[in-house]
C-alpha cells in the first residue's frame, strides 16, 4: 500500500548567540553613546550563513536576522 507524505511550509522562530568581530560593529544610532550593534553588512552576512546551512537539508524561503544594542550579551577581549 502506498504511503502519503504531506509537505507544509513551517514558520520557525528562534534566537541564536553569535559573535561579531570588532570591524562588524557600529554605534547604535537609537541608543546611548556607549551602545553598539552589528552593521547591516555583518547582519546580512550572518543571515546568508544561516540560510546556507539550513538550505543543505531544507527548502528555505526566507531567513531574517535582526538585533540591536539591547541584545548585547557581552564583550570579550583577547590579546593577539
Any domain includes 51: yes
Is the pLDDT confidence value at 80 over 80? Answer: no
CB distance 41 to 23 below 8 Å? no
Average pLDDT over residues 39-44: 96
How far, in Å, CA of 68 to CA of 64, rounded? Answer: 14
Any domain includes 43: yes
Backbone angles phi, psi at 19, to 5 degrees: -105, 125
Any domain includes 50: yes
Report the pLDDT value the prediction gives residue 29, as an integer from 0 to 100: 87
| Predicted model pTM | 0.81
Task: List the domain range (segments joined by +) for residue 62.
Answer: 26-67
Number of domains in the chain: 1
What does the pLDDT look like over 14-36, one tens digit per residue?
999 999 999 999 999 888 888 99
Any domain includes 56: yes
CB distance 80 to 46 below 8 Å? no
Mean of pLDDT over the chain: 92
Any domain includes 73: no
Any domain includes 4: no
Tally DSSP H helices, then E strands, for the chain: 1, 2
Any domain includes 39: yes
Any domain includes 30: yes
Amino acid at each position: 500500500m502506498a504511503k502519503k507524505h504531506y509537505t507544509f511550509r513551517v514558520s520557525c522562530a528562534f534566537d541564536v548567540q553569535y559573535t561579531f568581530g570588532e570591524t562588524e560593529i557600529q554605534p547604535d544610532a537609537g541608543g546611548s553613546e556607549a551602545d553598539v550593534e552589528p552593521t547591516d553588512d555583518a547582519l546580512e552576512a550572518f543571515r546568508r550563513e544561516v540560510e546556507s546551512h539550513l538550505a543543505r537539508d531544507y527548502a528555505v524561503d526566507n531567513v531574517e536576522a535582526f538585533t540591536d544594542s539591547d541584545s548585547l550579551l557581552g564583550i570579550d577581549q583577547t590579546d593577539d
